């Protein structure tokens, strides 16, 4: 083989190796940036639920992935929200319950974990909160806006809705809420509130029994009726502090996110410093700046125009 041929072959091999290395690098960076790849063996997944609960599709999908991934030994859910949509709260609650049947699910409450946020927290095996965390607010909210005065008197606009049945336009913003509509809405609110209370009863009865007894030897004396009365007296929409929630049996321990992670590691049998992994969205060079501006803008718009005529597990401000 001539010298020229050897040089050409070497250059060709070098280019092929560079191409393979580039492809491998792109794959690794893509996986890491997308939250789908992490070094190490057993790990704890951190799932965050923050802001107004409107659409938790991503969180629901992540909860299922973490539950089915054998490398994930436990899930810690960090909650910082005053609640939101009923259906979304219930969807994540159900998915986390499914996960809790396979591995430890530990809840860490931040500044606020109220209403729909507390509903989600009920799926955890153990619930941590800070002493001053605002939680509870177990209730249902429905807001009706009547725009007829503005449209008729100020703008001269008149809206007519033709419906298939008399209740089809219940809660319409084009007119006042009449007695029949109010009665139907109150019936719906009562049923959705009953669902919330039932979840509290199902998930927290044992802790509430211990809280009411004050001593393990007295637990047998606490009747189911006493537990039901305790829950009913506190599930009236009032917010609690973390300390109050602990004394009443609505959470399990006081502590921060690190305490929750350490507890999850012990529950999963992980020794040493736990390897915590968290899904992160992919960003370009300007990604963090664009995301920050977009998030702030969407938050401002949402606070002004988000639909109010819907049932919400949300703490009012």
Mean predicted confidence (pLDDT) in 182-187? 82
- Distance between start and end Cα atoms, the chain: 82
Give the C-alpha separation, 43 to 49, whole Å: 20
* Residue 221 near residue 168, CB atoms below 8 Å: no
pLDDT tens for each residue of 278-296: 987 655 545 555 555 555 5
The reported pLDDT for the residue numbered 304 is 46
Higher-confidence residue: 151 or 195?
Answer: 195
Mean predicted confidence (pLDDT) in 109-113? 97
Between 90-99, 197-206, 262-271, 298-307, the lowest mean confidence (pLDDT) is in 298-307
Residue of 168, 233, 247, 292 with catalytic role? 168
Higher-confidence residue: 16 or 110?
Answer: 110
Residue 279: closest CA among 131, 130, 1, 76: 76
Name the residue with tokens 């992935």.
65
Higher-confidence residue: 301 or 20?
Answer: 20
Mean predicted confidence (pLDDT) in 203-230? 94
Higher-confidence residue: 311 or 98?
Answer: 98
**Angle, helix 86-100 to helix 57-68, in steps of 10 degrees:** 10
The reported pLDDT for the residue numbered 272 is 86
Helix then strand count (H, E) for the chain reads 10, 10
The reported pLDDT for the residue numbered 158 is 57
103 belongs to the catalytic site = no
The reported pLDDT for the residue numbered 303 is 46
Which neighbouring-strand residues pair with 135?
A: 113, 240
Mean predicted confidence (pLDDT) in 55-80? 96
Give the C-alpha separation, 231 to 198, whole Å: 10
Residue of 89, 103, 108, 115 with catalytic role? 115
């Amino acid at each position: 083989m001539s010298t020229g041929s050897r040089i050409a072959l070497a250059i060709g091999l070098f280019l092929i190796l560079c191409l393979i290395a580039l492809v491998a690098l792109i794959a690794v960076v893509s996986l890491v940036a997308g939250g789908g790849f992490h070094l190490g063996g057993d790990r704890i997944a951190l799932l965050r639920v923050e802001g107004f609960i409107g659409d938790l599709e991503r969180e629901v999908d992540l909860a299922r992935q973490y539950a089915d991934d054998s490398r994930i030994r436990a899930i810690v859910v960090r909650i910082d929200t005053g609640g939101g949509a009923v259906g979304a709260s219930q969807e994540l609650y159900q998915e986390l319950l499914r996960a809790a049947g396979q591995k430890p699910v530990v809840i860490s409450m931040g500044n606020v974990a109220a209403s729909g946020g507390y509903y989600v927290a009920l799926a955890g095996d153990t619930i941590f909160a800070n002493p001053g965390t605002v939680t509870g607010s177990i209730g249902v909210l429905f807001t009706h806006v009547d725009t007829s005065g503005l449209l008729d008197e100020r703008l001269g606009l008149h809206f007519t809705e033709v419906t298939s049945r008399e209740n089809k336009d219940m809660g319409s913003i084009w007119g006042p809420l009449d007695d029949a509509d109010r009665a139907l809405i109150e019936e719906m609110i009562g049923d959705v509130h009953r669902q919330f209370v039932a979840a509290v009863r199902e998930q927290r009865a044992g802790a509430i029994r211990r809280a009411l007894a004050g001593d393990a030897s007295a637990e047998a004396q606490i009747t189911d009726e006493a537990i039901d009365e305790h829950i009913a007296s506190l599930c009236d929409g009032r917010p609690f502090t973390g300390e109050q929630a602990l004394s009443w049996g609505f959470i399990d321990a006081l502590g921060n996110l690190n305490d929750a992670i350490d507890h999850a590691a012990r529950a999963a049998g992980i020794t040493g410093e736990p390897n915590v992994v968290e899904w992160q969205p992919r960003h370009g060079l300007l990604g963090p700046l664009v995301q920050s501006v977009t998030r702030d803008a969407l938050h401002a718009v949402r606070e002004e125009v988000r639909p109010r005529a819907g049932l919400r597990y949300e703490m009012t401000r």
